[in-house]
A and B are shown apart, each in its own frame.
Chain A
């Protein structure tokens, strides 16, 4: 779980280990470092003549200019380039530069889950999330690319599907801060190691503007032909896609969204417009259920400490599921204590929904341990912790009720009853190529659609 862990053997070592731990944590791909302090070390006394300098990220070696020249040439020579952005773009603070590159090169942008927010959701070049729960348009467009430029992405199996058939027509260029990522999953024709912002700045200096009207039109055409399929709002207001779209309409543009892990997380990724970098905090590769509420509390605390950002009405929203929220529900006590503007929305289908969905689609509907026989009353649980709790009535005007509940200040838990059997579509079956997406309509006739 950590990049490194130290076992401290004498108290004197701490003056070296603590700054070093911060240096390791902040360098390269940032991540946690653990320092294990035994009780005898904790109780020991040491004399220190001067405090050590705090540890900071080690500077990265610059990427050779000829590699950046080569990348500029490759982009200029390509006809159908795509930018494939991962969370590293956001970590590097390179989102605006990546968008500038996309515009300069007329390259559509696909994002991993962790990169959502790097590019404005309404930008004409934005193709949304790729991979297992990406839209058909996104995955089809990747089939046609002749150059894939991956930036801060690691070719995770949720993004690539069957690796051998991922982007079959594309040569791959990969820009990453971690040399071990280059060529790890897919062979690359060009690998650039370094800070994404530095490299993109140098790349933009030497890349002329390129117009690719046919390629831009192809991307727009695929997007128009393959939207997310879901029932209209009037017919099914509490369909999760409709709820996520409403959240995009009623929450302020600078809202920080956090999620847990499961179907609700994928619906947010598909339908909630993440409007800025770090606007979505979610657990990616580690898939940590229980992440959302503590992350939301942390984000709200950080906002309240940054003067000027804690504007009245600013909210942190945590979308969770009835399974995930139970993993760290004790943090409602922390939320009550700190009285932070966090709204917790529980997409409640009385199931471990993504497990149930997999059992339905790939295990012959042999459901096991995915249904909750006893579902807690989450609004009552919230009230027991001293937090406002509301259960949305599906039979009234649920979206108006939801918007009104979100408009009230202070922490709250909102229990949203959603369909027990709703699935996340499209879906690439595990092990299949990304073009082999299954959708709702292929599984059941439109007439029986709920």
Chain B
């Protein structure tokens, strides 16, 4: 799982997803929510962990609209599965990935 902090405006998402598409790298799951006053967003990307992922991350870091790139090893694929079951099957929601830790 990769977490991005990005500028929130039209076109930002297409810059990011376009980079993955051009490199033939699949995005398994994606979550994007605005933060604070809405000038920035946080994005969670579920991606396959293969060697060329590092190059994708470096290219992401070069995008003007991407403010920060970091790994989220604490979140796995079950996060998105739980989210899908919440919205479609009435299961309890997953833990907020950005809740301040105690």
Contacts and interface: CB of A to CB of B under 8 A. Distances in A.
Q: Do A and B come from one complex?
A: yes
Interface of A: 3-5, 7, 9, 24, 178-180, 184
18 contacts: A3-B64, A4-B63, A4-B64, A5-B11, A7-B9, A7-B10, A7-B11, A9-B9, A9-B10, A24-B64, A178-B62, A179-B58, A180-B55, A180-B58, A180-B61, A180-B62, A184-B55, A184-B58
Contacts of B26: none
A9 B55 CA distance: 32
B59 A180 contact: yes
Interface of B: 9-11, 15, 55, 58-59, 61-65
Nearest to A178: B62
A3 B19 CA distance: 12
Contacts of A184: 55, 58
Nearest to A29: B62
A177 to B, nearest CB: 12
Nearest to A5: B11
A334 B61 CA distance: 41
Nearest to B57: A180
A179 B65 CA distance: 18
B11 to A, nearest CB: 5
Nearest to B58: A180
A180 B58 CA distance: 5
Nearest to A6: B11
A262 B10 CA distance: 39
Contacts of B11: 5, 7
A24 B63 CA distance: 10
A184 B56 CA distance: 10
Given A9-B9, A179-B58, A184-B55, 16 more contacts: A3-B64, A4-B15, A4-B63, A4-B64, A4-B65, A5-B11, A7-B9, A9-B10, A24-B64, A178-B62, A180-B55, A180-B58, A180-B59, A180-B61, A180-B62, A184-B58
B94 to A, nearest CB: 33
A178 B62 CA distance: 9
| Smallest CB-CB A-B distances: 5 pairs | A180-B58, A4-B64, A7-B11, A180-B59, A184-B55
B64 to A, nearest CB: 5
Contacts of A3: 64
Contacts of B15: 4
B5 to A, nearest CB: 17
A28 to B, nearest CB: 8
Q: Which of B15, B55, B61, B64 has the most CB of A within 10 A?
A: B64
